[in-house]
Amino acid sequence: MRGFQAYIDGAFTEGEARFASLDPATGEAWAQMPEAREADVDRAVRAADRALREGEWPRLTASARGKLLYRLTDLVAENAQALAELETRDTGKIIRETSAQIAYVAEYYRYYAGLADKIEGAVLPIDKPDMEVWTRREPIGVVAAIVPWNSQLFLAAVKIGPALAAGCTLVVKASEDGPAPLLHFARLVHEAGFPAGVVNVLTGFGPSCGSALTRHPLVAHVAFTGGPETARHVVRGSADNLASTSLELGGKSPFLVFADADLDSAANAQVAAIFAATGQSCVAGSRLIVERSVKERFLAILKEKAERVAIGAPLDMGTEVGPLCTRRQRDHIQALVDRSTAAGARVLAGGRVPEGPGHYYPPTILDCDGTSAPALAEEFFGPVLSVVSFETEGEALALANDTAFGLASGVFTASLTRAHRLIRGIRAGVVWVNTYRAVSPIAPFGGTKLSGHGREGGLAAALDYTRTKTVWLRTSDDPIPDPFVMR
């Protein structure tokens, strides 16, 4: 049984308690994790607050912060394979995905390393002739970064990178499900030479760890990725300390396919959109909205691809779909499929838990046309695609926006003018046209409605971790007149 430690104030620690982490491929315990509780959280936040105000970190120039981030970048790149293997073992995400994704995670740290000395203030053309006025961008304070188990090193990088570039300090809470890679990442932070307390990494459960972190009086900003219900608890907790929040939440992303699209290309993108990462992605293209005239042809292509997907052990490079991270998630998916078929949805592929060990669920396609199946509204967070069709562009747009979420969307069409109309009309933070799941550290990412607020990636994310300070400097040598003497 492998053991992992939390990282608090520059030292590795066991935490108040321990808990077992399960291998999703077998359902058996493989590692012991440190369970942080309220005292651990308090110690980590106080260490981050101390590091923010005292010692080496606040005295570093922005360029020096960037050099530390460059060092961390190199270490992430050098250790990408080891991190990928840990993420695969602890979450079930297949090795071919974790290997590629974590190698690219290093580019996020590289981007923010270069941005650290480019976060600028401004001189204001003030309307008073005897004043010089300018603004400074200063770190917002201690950041609580709460990261889910799926794509956790990526979702941590888009918080840690900009926060450190801005000069903040952090307490990073890994999910209690599959936290191994983030706990191991703490060793790279330590090796990179960040001062004690600048980055703290722990894991634990919601009531005893997450809640204590979000409501801590020394936390200034909460950056959270997860589901809307947990986000509501985060926002309620932040009412105690009035911390600002950035929330990247769930999705029920529409994937629009028009009759003029390249159907083979669109089918490949749809398979990647819903079956990659075993569908456990907030941007999963889980609602296929396809033009009626090509619906049957397109579904035939998808069904053939879904049934050819190689399901297997996540550490096998030949595996294309691995297990779900937890059994409770698999049970949730099966219950939602059953409720949807009871409401009239037709199973075209998959739809049933396979026999054998592990948390596996097959690629599933549900034809929900003409129904009000819950599959159209509720997030599966698994490899299940819900399908409806449309006749007109206006109907397609209405269906795309008929959701409480607004994170991502995809549009497949050969018409440039149609694409532009839909880009304007779709209410989502990201619109991919004739592609899907493309990301870059340069591009902001985030949603609207129940998909949250705030942006990760790009300069916008770094500015979210700053406060503006306005400085007024009087340039006249004349004494300030007595305000109570009439002239």
Catalytic-role residue among 248, 291, 379, 456 = 248
Contact criterion met (CB below 8 Å) for 186 and 201: yes
282 catalytically annotated = yes
* Degrees to nearest 5, angle at CA 76 with 71 and 81: 150
368 catalytically annotated = no
Contact criterion met (CB below 8 Å) for 150 and 91: yes
Q: In whole angstroms, what separates CA 311 from the centre of its chain?
A: 25
Q: In whole angstroms, what separates CA 181 from the centre of its chain?
A: 15
Neighbours of 21 (CB within 10 A): 23
Burial (CB < 10 A; 0-12, 13-18, 19+), residue 187, is middle
115-152 b/e with 16+ CB inside 10 Å = b?
Answer: bbeebeeeeeeeeeeeeeeeeebebbbbbbbbbbbbbb
Neighbours of 78 (CB within 10 A): 12
Contact criterion met (CB below 8 Å) for 164 and 170: yes
Catalytic-role residue among 282, 291, 320, 379 = 282
Distances (CA, A) of 92 to 177, 307, 473: 11, 20, 58
Beta-carbon contacts of 308 under 8 Å, excluding residues fewer than 6 positions away, are: none
Query: Any idea which residues carry the catalytic annotation?
Result: 248, 282
